[in-house]
Amino acid sequence: MTRYILFRILWLIIVLLVVSFITFSLMHLVPGGPWDKTKTLAPQVVEALNKKYGLDKPFFAQFGDFLWNILHGDLGVSYTLQDRSVTSIILQGLPKTATLGVIAFILAILIGIPFGMAAALKQNSIIDYLSVIFSTIFASIPGFVLGILLIIIFSVELHWLPTGGWGSVQQIIMPAFALATLPAAFIARITRSSTLEVMRQDYVRTAQAMGIKQRVILVRHILRNALIPVVTMAGPELAFLVSGSFIIENLFSIPGIGRMFVNGVFARDYGLIMGSVLFYGFVVAGLNLVVDILYGVIDPRIRYD
């Protein structure tokens, strides 16, 4: 197990290196640079800016500088938020994005799993149909449409909740819900189908034939096995939620990293793009590793030795 984890961590470093290099190359290949503004800057100004941010150096020297700084724990500087380091921007935005993501994730689990289970256990009943209808609807409504609807109903019409911002519980309710609906719908559907599949397994029928209480069968035999596909999906889903959603953060004015990253791409903020990509790569690869380890915990058949 330890060897497996160490091996995976080594791979993670290689993956991050490759990701950085591809991003770095693409960034420089894409037309438009950080100093391309609608009001053209004087050539002397562009020269001074290039010098200040090391963009006057050759391509590989710039990439070398980037790696050297990473080794020293420095993700570089932002070009658009000029007095702040990428590390400080991520550290400032991450807790907000992560809090929102984790709340949305818990919400998605709390809504998705019970609905999916209920639908499977009462297959072809009214509960099943309602569950399928709602999960289809919520899976098809884009987050920004749902977000706007929530704002119009609860802020503009009812004046119950603030339209956005960060700092109070009231401000988290709408964005967390808007963010949770899509994964909740997916989780419900996956839970339903995998539960249906597990319920038809021989070991479940055997347990039923042995007269074991239905509740015990449900928790010990069905739920545990039905959740494997859900966990597979939950890992990347959590990574996605924690890395932030530009649309939700933008709509609800949440000072998180999702919005910052997308704005960084639009503005060709090389510093912010590189720092964020590296960070995202780390989060996604890291969470995948966690999921793989979790398989072993849930499913005794999976071993890494």
Partner 1 sequence: MVKKILTIFFSLVIIASLVIFPSCSSAPSGPQELTVNIAGEPAQIDPNRASWSTERTVIMQVFEGLLGFKQDLSLEAVGATEIPTVDNDGISADGKTYTFKLNEDVTWSDGVKVTANNYVYSIKRLFDPTNAAEYASFYFDIVGGEAYYSSSDQDATAQAALKAAIGVRAVDTYTLEIKLVNARPTFLQLMALWPVYPVREDIITQYGATWTEPPHYIGNGPFLMTEWVHSDHITLVKNPNYWGEKAKLDTLTLNMITDANALFAAYQNNEVDIAGVPAGTEKTVMADTVLGPQILRYAELTTFAFQFNVEVAPFTNKNLRKALNAAIDREAFINNVRGGVGQPAYSWIPPGMPGYDANLGLDYHFSATKAQEFLTAAGYTNGSEVPELHLQYADTGINPTIAQFIQQQVKVNLNIDVVIEPMERAAFTQAVNAEQYSWAWYGWGADYPDPDNWLPQLFGTGAGNNHTNYSSAEFDSLCAQAAIQLDNAQRLALYAQAQALVVNDAPVLFMFYRERFVLVKPNVKGLKYTGMDGDVAGDMFFANVWIEN
| Contacts to partner 1 by CB under 8 A | 30-33, 36-45, 47-49, 51-52, 80-84, 89, 92-93, 148, 151-152, 155-156, 159, 162-167, 250-253, 255, 259-260, 263, 266-268
Cβ atoms within 10 Å, residue 13: 11
Q: How far is the CB of 296 from partner 1 (least distance, A)?
A: 40
Q: Residue 4 is inside which H or E element, if any?
A: helix 2-29
* Tokens 């339903």 found at: 192
Of 176, 116, 101, residue with least CA distance to 146: 176
In the complex, the smallest distance separating the C-beta of residue 55 from partner 1, rounded to whole angstroms, is 11
Judged by beta carbon, residue 186 or residue 279, the one nearer partner 1 is 279
State both tokens at 57: 């150096």
Among 275, 169, 185, 290, residue whose Cα is nearest residue 239: 290
Q: How far is the CB of 102 from partner 1 (least distance, A)?
A: 20
* Contact call for residues 90 and 75 (beta carbons, < 8 A): yes
Look up tokens 């780390």; give the residue: 282
Q: How far is the CB of 180 from partner 1 (least distance, A)?
A: 19
Reduce the secondary structure of 258-298 to three states and give it as a string.
HHHHHHHHHCCCHHHHHHHHHHHHHHHHHHHHHHHHHHHHH
DSSP state at residue 123: T
Nearest-approach distance from CB 280 to partner 1, in angstroms: 18
* Region at 73 (left for phi over 0; alpha for psi -120 to 50; beta for the rest): left
Measured in whole angstroms, the distance separating CA 264 from the mean position of its chain's CA atoms is 18
Shortest Cβ distance from residue 43 to partner 1 (Å)? 7
The least distance separating partner 1 from the CB of residue 39, rounded to whole angstroms, comes to 6
- Pull the structure tokens for residue 174: 């709408």
